[in-house]
Structure 1
Amino acid sequence: MTDRYLSVDQVAELLGTTARFPRRLIEERRIRYVKLGRHVRIPESAVEEFIQSRTVEPIRLRRTTLRRVA
């Protein structure tokens, strides 16, 4: 399986954030990354895993009838 390696700016654009957010994820080691000399690259699969692990599914509530109290 070949994985695309993204720059910090590309990850920020993908997530819709500034570059500061992916840099913080890297610094706190909350996302996998590869260091190539002075360059940092994040595998596309790591971004997908990060998004998947932070996704919150909605709760299905049962419909209840609202009754008016007289």
Structure 2
Amino acid sequence: MLDSTTPQRRMLRTEDASNYTGLSASTLTKLRLTGGGPAYIKLGKSVVYDPADLDAWLSSKRRRSTSVAA
């Protein structure tokens, strides 16, 4: 049970996660199928993303040079 001092995390649906990351919704869908994308949560038929997972995934993609291997 959540009390009034527990902050609630707002989960993002694919379209909102798309806006958050700058990727298209179809790219996020493809990444779910092929792997390598951000972690997501499946709630019944709905897919949601935790913004903390999106931040972690985006940070993992940070590079300083195109010549450095991923």
The two structures have a TM-score, normalised by structure 1, of: 0.68
Q: Whole-Å Cα distance in 2 between the matches of residues 18 and 44 of structure 1?
A: 16
**Correspondence 1:40 to 2:52:** no
3-state SS in 2 of match to 1:57: coil
The two structures have a TM-score, normalised by structure 2, of: 0.68
Which deviations, in whole Å up to 9, do the C-alpha atoms of 1:1-45 show, x marking residues without a partner?
753211100111112232111112222232211111100001111
Number of residue pairs the alignment of both structures matches: 58
- Taking only the aligned residue pairs, the percentage that are identical comes to 19
Q: Whole-Å Cα distance in 2 between the matches of residues 56 and 5 of structure 1?
A: 27
Structure 2: runs of 5 or more not aligned: 1-6, 66-70
Runs (4+) of structure 1 moved beyond 4 Å? Answer: none
- Which one of the candidate residues 19, 22, 38 is aligned to 2:28? 22
Structure with greater Cα Rg: 1
Structure 1: runs of 5 or more not aligned: 59-70
Q: What RMSD, in angstroms, separates the aligned Cα atoms of the two structures?
A: 1.8
